[in-house]
Every structure is written in C-alpha cells, then in structure tokens.
Amino acid sequence: MDFAKLRRVMVDSQVRVNDVTSPEVVSAFSTIPREVFVPKGMRASAYAELEIKTADDRAMWLPRDLGKMLIGLEAQPSDVSLVIAAGDGYSAALLGHMTDAVIALEEDEALVDAMAERFAEIGMDEAVAVQGEITKGLPDQGPFDIILIAGMVETVPQAWLDQLAEGGRMGVVVSTGRGVGAARIYKRAGNTFAYREAFECCPPILPGFEKKTEFVF
C-alpha cells in the first residue's frame, strides 16, 4: 500500500479544502506518517475521513478538525508544547514537527510505552511520552507555550490553564450538547484567561470531565 500517496490525498482532500492552508500545518500532515499511529489492523484505513479508535476512550481526530485546531494554536518553532490525553501520539507528533519540544501526557503506562516506540520509529526526537494524571497536567514541567487537549470535555480544569506561559495558548473542545462541541482557543495574559470559539466539531469525548449534576428541590 502506498501510504505516501494516501497521505498526499488526505492533505489535498481533507485538510487544504477545509481552510487548513498554513504551510507549517500542511507540512506536518504531509510529513508525519499517520499509519504508524493507528492499530496495525487498521492501517489500511489510516487516511480515511473518519475517527479511528486507538484505545479505550481514545481516538484519532478527523484531520480537518485537528488541522483547524493547530492553526488556532499558532505554533512557533521555539514553543514548548503539552498534549494532554495524547492517546496514540499523532497530534503530539504533528506538534513536534512544528515546534522545538512537545510532551505527550497519558495515564496508562501501556499507552505511554506505545507512544515512545512510535516516536522512535519515525525519528521524532522533539516528542517525549510521559505518564501522569491528565486532570493535573504537568505543573512541574511547565509553563507551556501551547497546551492541546486531545478530546472533548464538559469542564476545563483551572490546573490546565495555570500551566500556560505568558501569552500561551490552549486548545480544547468544550461540549455544547448532543455530541457537538466548540473548539476554544484560550490565551493567557497575566492572570487572565480569555478564549475565542474558533469552530464547531465533535471529536472523541474525554471521560472524567463531565459537569457535576446539580439537584434542585
């Protein structure tokens, strides 16, 4: 199977046509071999326009949505990035292509080991896989210029925002109901965190970040 050709088709038919035209983002999608990051039995579908489940509660985003999020994060070569709930590691690898360093955070040791192997397989020295609690992020490694949450949540922990550097950006999809979410780009200025909603999408739901139910008597 000619994965390089399939990669070019994906970029032309799923990425560029959805207003993802940033040279840096297009270069990342054109360079990083997506097939390395999907389960081996699904590599034939690596470049199809669909979400691919890679582990329990983890799945790859549609390329168009991930591309739009990466544009919103305005990655610079000198940035240090953190991907929370990195799953298969693909989004971290894309950021690693665009920035100096990226940490891919996961809770499950097996997922961390698998990511490390994939990064080594493609020669991605800029990315490192780390095990830790995704609700807490990595405060001892911050602050970060970019934080990407690789799933849709209902609530955004303050702990994540606190790990942004001055001027840092965080991309997260917040559920608006019925499986749809709004992609928010947060930016830090001092102790203020403002966000704009960039687009609508429906990436995989990240469990553990549901709103608490309030009972009314």
Q: Tell me, what's the pLDDT at 210?
A: 81
In a domain, 18, yes or no: yes
Q: Tell me, what's the pLDDT at 213?
A: 61
In a domain, 25, yes or no: yes
CATH number where 105 lies: 3.40.50.150
pLDDT mean over 167-181: 92
In a domain, 185, yes or no: yes
**Would you say 36 and 122 are in contact if contact means Cβ atoms under 8 Å apart?**
yes
- What is the CB neighbour count within 10 angstroms for residue 121? 11
Q: Tell me, what's the pLDDT at 216?
A: 52
pLDDT mean over 206-212: 83
**Would you say 51 and 61 are in contact if contact means Cβ atoms under 8 Å apart?**
yes
In a domain, 215, yes or no: no
pLDDT band for position 46 (cuts 50, 70, 90): very high
Q: How many domains does the chain have?
A: 1
pLDDT in tens, 88-119: 999 999 999 999 999 999 999 999 999 999 99
pLDDT mean over 186-199: 96
Q: Tell me, what's the pLDDT at 190?
A: 95
- Checking if the pLDDT of 215 tops 60, the result is no
In a domain, 161, yes or no: yes
Nearest to 129 by CA among 173, 169, 92: 92
pLDDT in tens, 14-34: 999 999 999 999 999 999 999
Q: What is the mean pLDDT of the chain?
A: 93
pLDDT band for position 217 (cuts 50, 70, 90): low
- What is the CB neighbour count within 10 angstroms for residue 182? 17
| DSSP state, residue 157 | -
In a domain, 217, yes or no: no
| DSSP state, residue 5 | H
In a domain, 208, yes or no: no
**Amino acid at site 13:** S
Nearest to 144 by CA among 92, 183, 197: 92
| Residue with the larger pLDDT of the pair 40 and 158 | 158
Q: Tell me, what's the pLDDT at 214?
A: 57
Q: Tell me, what's the pLDDT at 120?
A: 97
Phi, psi of 113 (to 5 degrees): -65, -40
CA-to-CA distance for 129 and 103, rounded, in angstroms?
6
Domain that holds residue 190: 3-201
CA-to-CA distance for 135 and 148, rounded, in angstroms?
13
SS3 85: coil
In a domain, 206, yes or no: no
Least confident of 37-51, 61-75, 96-110, 127-141: 37-51
**For the whole model, what pTM was predicted?**
0.93
How many degrees, rounded to 5, is the angle at CA 98 between CA 199 and CA 44?
Answer: 75
CA-to-CA distance for 88 and 32, rounded, in angstroms?
13
